[in-house]
Structure 1
Amino acid sequence: MSPLLILCIAFVVLTVIGVPLFAAVGLTTGLALFLIDIPYTLLAQTGYSSLTPFPLLTIPLFVLAGRLMEVGGMATRMIGIATNLVGAYRGSMGLVTVFACMLFAALSGSGPATTAAIGSVTVPAMKKEDYDVPFAASITASAGALGSLIPPSNLMIIYGLVSETSIPRLFLAGIVPGIVVTLLLMLTTYIIARKRGYGGDGAPFSWGPFLRACWDGKWSIGAPVLILGGIYGGIFTPTEAAGVAVFYALFVGLVVYRELTLAKLVDALKFTALLTGILILISPTLAFGQLTAFYDIPTAVQNGITALTENRVLVLLLIGVFYIFIGTFMESLAQIVLFTAVFLPLATSLGIDPVMFGIFTVITCEIGFLTPPLGANLTVAARISGISIERISVAVLPFIGAYIIGMLILILVPDLTTFLPDLIYGPSR
C-alpha cells in the first residue's frame, strides 16, 4: 500500500471517529513524516513560522472590534438604519436582517460573529411578527455568512497569507460579489415572505425617518468608512486598520454611546478568544500542506482534472462541488489552508486570477457555514432561535440556492471580482 493511500485512510478514519480536526491533521502529518523519514521538527518549525506573520493579528483584532461594536450599541443603530430603509416592505424584518448583516459584515470580518450580533436582535423581532422560527433563523444564518465575503474578511486574510495574494486587492474584490449575494438573499427573503404573508404594511419609503436614523447611527456608519477608506487610501495596512477599529469601537462605546461596560468588555474578550481559537488549525494544516508538495499532489490533481476537461467554467464547477462537500464537515479555515495549495496552481494554469479564485473559495466556504453537520452559522442561529439544527437545515435550503447562484454568476462573470482591484491598483501581474 502506498504511503499516500495510508495517509488518506488515516485522515478519514480520524475525522470520522470524531478526533478534533487540528489533532487529526497533526497526527496524519506526524504519520507522514514517519513514513518518509523526515524529522518531526518540521511540525514544530512550521507551527512556529505559521503563527509569526504580522497580518495574522488582523483576525482577532477585527473579531474583537466587531464584538465591541455589537455590545457597545453600534449594531443596534445599524439595524435602525436598515429598518427605516427597507422596513416598510413585505418581509420587512427579514430584509432588515439581511441588510444589517451586510453593514455589520464590514466591521466584524466573521460569519458566525455577524450572525450572533444581528440575529440576537432581529430573530426575537421576527418572532414577534409571527415569522416561522426556522425561516427567521435561516435568514440570520445565511445573511450572517456575508461576514466572510464583505471586507474585511478573516477568510480572505488567511487565503491571502497562504497564496501570497494582496489582502487589500482581495478586500476590494469582495465588495461587488458581496452586494450581488446580498441582493440575491434579499430577493429570496422577499419571495418567501410575500408567499407566506410575513410583515410589512406596504407603506412608502420616507426620507425623514431614514435620515434621522442615519444621523443617530452616524458613528456606526463611520466605522466601515474609516476602516476600509484607510486601507484603500494607503493610510494604514489591514492589520493597522484592525487596531484602529478596536480603538474606534472602544471610543464610541465608552464615550459616545456610553453603553460599553466593564462586564461587556470582558464578554467581548472572551468571545474573541473562543472564536479565534480556531487559529490553532494553522500550524498542522500548513505542515500538511508542505507534505502535499512533497508528494506532488497539486500536479496529480491538475493532471487528473485536465484529463477530464480544460474548460475554465467546468473546472471551477468541479472545484466548487468539492469545496461545498468538504465544507459540510471541515472548518473553513482548514479548508482554505489545505486545499489552496492543491487547486490554486490548477486555477492559475487555466488563466484564472488568484484574486478571483480567492473570492470563489470564500463563497464556497460560506455555503459550508450553512450545511450540517458542521455549519457554524447554523449552530449560532439555532442557539439564538432555540430550535434544532435539523429544522433550520431544511429552512436554509433556498438561501443556499441563492449562494450557489451567486457562485455561478462569479464563475461566468469573473470581472465582478477583478474590476475594482484593477481600477484602484492597476491590473495584477
Structure 2
Amino acid sequence: MEVFVLFAVFVVGLMVGIPVAITLGLSSMAYLLLADIPLVVVPQKIYAGMDVFVLLSIPGFILAGNLMNNGGITERIIRFANALVGWIRGGLGLTNIGASMLFGGITGTAVADAASIGGVMIPGMKKAGYPADFSAAVTAASSTVGPIIPPSVPMIIVGALSGISVGKMFLAGAIPGVLMGLGMMATCYIISVRKNFPRQEWQGFSEIGKAFGGAFWALAMTGIILYGLLSGIATPTETAIVASVYAFVVGAFVYRELPVRLVPKIISDSAISAAAILALVGFANVFGWILVSERIPQAIASGVLTITENPILVILIINILLLFVGMFMETIAALIILFVPLLSLATAVGIEPLHFATFAVLNLMIGLTTPPVGVCLFVCAGIAKLPLTPVVRAIFPFLLSNLIVLLMVSYIPALATWLPNQILP
C-alpha cells in the first residue's frame, strides 16, 4: 500500500506540473507517514545525498560556464565553427552543431548550450533564409552533445552514484559525443542539399586562423579541465574552481567583455542553478532510499532476468525504459532514481559499469529533445517564436541520427571504454 501511494503521488505530481524535486519530497513524505517512519529520516537522507565531495564540482563548473558565456565566448566559438564549415551547403546549420560541440566542452549542460547558442544562431539562421522550425530543431538537437563531451554535470552525478572515476566518465563520453556531432552534421547536410539551403563563400585559411586565435582562450579551458583531472594534479572539485578563476580572468582581462560589476549577479545565478540541482539530488536520495528499503531495484532486476538473461536484449530493454522515462522526467532526477537499480541489472548480465553509465547518460540526453518534457525543445521553440509541434516534426531526423549513435555505443562497448582504459588504466 505504501509503495503504491509513493508512486501514485509521484506520478500525479509530475502530471500536474509540480517541480520534480518537490514531487520527490512529497511522495517520500507520504510514504514515510503511512509507514509510520520518523520524519527525521528526511533531513538525514537529504544531507547524506548532498554530502559527496565530487558534487561540489557542480557549482564550480556552472559558474565557469556562466562566466565564459557572459565574457564573449559564444560569438567567438560560433565564428570559429563558421570559418571551418560555414562554406558547405547548409553551413549555418553545420556551424550550429559544431559550435555546440565546442561550447559543450565548456559548460557541460545542454540547456545552457541551447539558450546561449540558440540566442545567436536561431535568429541568424532565420535571417539567412533557413526555416524557423529547422533552425530551432538543429539547435535543440545539437545541444544534447554538451553533457556528453567533457566536462559533464550528468557524468559527475553518475560518478557520485556509482563510485566510477569522474575522469573516466568524462573520457568515456568523448567518442560518443563526437559521433553524435558528426551524425547530426551528416543529417543536416543531407537535409540542406535536398532543400537547397544557403551556404556562404569560403573565407580562406586566414579567417580560420583569426577565428581560432579569437576562440583559443575559450577552447583552452577544456584542455585545462581535462589535464587537471587526467594528470591527477587536481580533483574534479578543485578543477572546477580553477576553471572558474580562469573563466573570470579570460572574460574580464583577455576578452574584456565581462564587466566586473556583473560578477556578483553571475555568482548568484550560478548558485541558484547549483542549489536547484543539489536540492534535486537530496530529495532523490530520500526517494532512492525508500526504493532500496522496499527492494524495488532487486524486483526490477529479477523481473527482467526472468524474461531474459541475454545481454543484447537486456540492453535493449534498458534503452527502451530510459527513452520512455526521458520523455517525462528531468535527466538528473531520472539518473538518481534509476541508475543504481539498472546498474545492478546491467552488471548481473556482464555489462561493464563504465559502458552502462555512458549509454545511460547518452540515452537520457536524447530525452531532452523529446516531447512532452523536452526542456531544450521548449527553449529553442521559444527563441524561434514557434509552437512546439513544428519543431518536433523538424527534429525527427536528428533524433533518428542520435538513436543510431545510441545503439552503436550500447552494442560496441569499446566506443565508451577504449579511451578511458587507454589513458586511465
Range of TM-score over shorter length: over 0.9
Task: Measure, in 1, the Cα distance between the counterparts of 2:234 and 2:123.
Answer: 39
Task: Measure, in 1, the Cα distance between the counterparts of 2:271 and 2:195.
Answer: 40
- How far has the Cα of 1:355 moved from its partner? 1.2
**Residues paired across the two proteins, number:** 424
Q: Is the 8 A contact 1:181 1:406 kept in 2?
A: yes
Task: Measure, in 2, the Cα distance between the counterparts of 1:224 and 1:252.
Answer: 13
- How far has the Cα of 1:177 moved from its partner? 0.5
Q: Is the 8 A contact 1:101 1:114 kept in 2?
A: yes
1:98-124 C-alpha deviation (Å, 9 max, x unpaired)? 011101111101000111121112112
Letter in 2 for 1:114: D
User: Match for 2:206 among 194, 205, 208?
Assistant: 208
Q: Is the 8 A contact 2:252 2:259 kept in 1?
A: yes
- Equivalent positions of 1:131-210 (< 5 A) are 131-201=130-200, 206-210=204-208
* Residue 368 in structure 1 maps to residue 367 in structure 2: yes
Q: Is the 8 A contact 1:81 1:210 kept in 2?
A: yes
User: Match for 2:258 among 257, 260, 264?
Assistant: 260
* Residue 296 in structure 1 maps to residue 291 in structure 2: no
Letter in 1 for 2:212: C
Secondary structure of the residue aligned to 2:145 is helix
Q: Is the 8 A contact 2:230 2:424 kept in 1?
A: no
TM-score, structure 1 normalization: 0.95
Partner residue, 1:385:
384
Secondary structure of the residue aligned to 1:12 is helix
Deviates more, 1:87-96 or 1:34-43: 34-43
Partner residue, 2:229:
231
1:356-390 C-alpha deviation (Å, 9 max, x unpaired)? 11111111111111012221111221222222223
- How far has the Cα of 1:179 moved from its partner? 0.6
Partner residue, 1:21:
20
Task: Measure, in 2, the Cα distance between the counterparts of 1:38 and 1:185.
Answer: 50
Partner residue, 1:307:
306
Between the aligned residues of both structures, percent identity stands at 37
Gaps of 5+ in 1: none
* Residue 217 in structure 1 maps to residue 245 in structure 2: no
Q: Is the 8 A contact 1:43 1:283 kept in 2?
A: no
Task: Measure, in 2, the Cα distance between the counterparts of 1:213 and 1:288.
Answer: 48
Q: Is the 8 A contact 1:68 1:250 kept in 2?
A: yes
- How far has the Cα of 1:167 moved from its partner? 0.8
Gaps of 5+ in 2: none
- Equivalent positions of 1:99-138 (< 5 A) are 99-138=98-137
Deviates more, 1:50-59 or 1:151-160: 50-59
1:131-156 C-alpha deviation (Å, 9 max, x unpaired)? 00011011111111111111110001
- How far has the Cα of 1:187 moved from its partner? 0.8
TM-score, structure 2 normalization: 0.95
Q: Is the 8 A contact 1:70 1:76 kept in 2?
A: no
- Equivalent positions of 1:239-278 (< 5 A) are 239-262=237-260, 264-276=262-274, 277-278=276-277
Task: Measure, in 1, the Cα distance between the counterparts of 2:361 and 2:240.
Answer: 20
* Residue 330 in structure 1 maps to residue 315 in structure 2: no
Task: Measure, in 2, the Cα distance between the counterparts of 1:157 and 1:220.
Answer: 22
- How far has the Cα of 1:86 moved from its partner? 0.6
Letter in 1 for 2:62: V
Task: Measure, in 1, the Cα distance between the counterparts of 2:127 and 2:164.
Answer: 46
Task: Measure, in 2, the Cα distance between the counterparts of 1:130 and 1:263.
Answer: 38
